[in-house]
């Protein structure tokens, strides 16, 4: 027996458990990992954060479009990979050096 499909659209949710709220939490977790542990390939980020490689790819695309991370093609273990580096880390370091007179 197949279930009838509903064509009713639900209103977008923006509460605590909504998709957009989860995405924001995931972005914050990814940026925090980059701040603490430094640049990594997308596969390494997936291993470090516990997110799937597809989730990492989607988050990196969002952050790259917002100019919050940079990506670079690299070879890792003989395979093509994408290295992700947080633009925020570099800009914060520049700000600290400028404000301290260094």
Q: What is the pLDDT of residue 9?
A: 44
At residue 69, the pLDDT reads 96
Predicted pLDDT of residue 67: 94
Higher pLDDT pick, 12 / 58? 58
Q: Sketch out the chain's domains with CATH numbers.
A: 19-100 (1.10.10.10)
Q: What is the pLDDT, as a whole number, of residue 98? A: 47
Residues contacting residue 83 through CB under 8 Å, at least 6 positions apart? 39, 40, 41, 71, 72, 73, 74
Q: Does the pLDDT at position 10 exceed 50?
A: no
Burial of 26 (0-12, 13-18, 19+ CB in 10 A): middle
Mean pLDDT (the chain) is 80
Place of tokens 């924001």: 24
Q: In the predicted model, is pLDDT for residue 43 greater than 50?
A: yes
């Amino acid at each position: 027996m197949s279930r009838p499909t509903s064509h009713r659209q639900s209103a977008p949710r923006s509460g605590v458990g909504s998709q957009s709220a989860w995405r924001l939490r995931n972005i914050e977790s990814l940026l925090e990992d980059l701040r603490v542990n430094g640049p990594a390939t997308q596969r390494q980020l997936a291993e470090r954060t516990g997110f799937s490689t597809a989730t990492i790819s989607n988050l990196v695309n969002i952050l790259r479009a917002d100019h919050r991370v940079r990506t670079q093609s690299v070879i890792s273990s003989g395979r093509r990979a994408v290295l992700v580096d947080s633009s925020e880390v570099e800009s914060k370091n520049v700000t600290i050096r400028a404000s301290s007179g260094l």
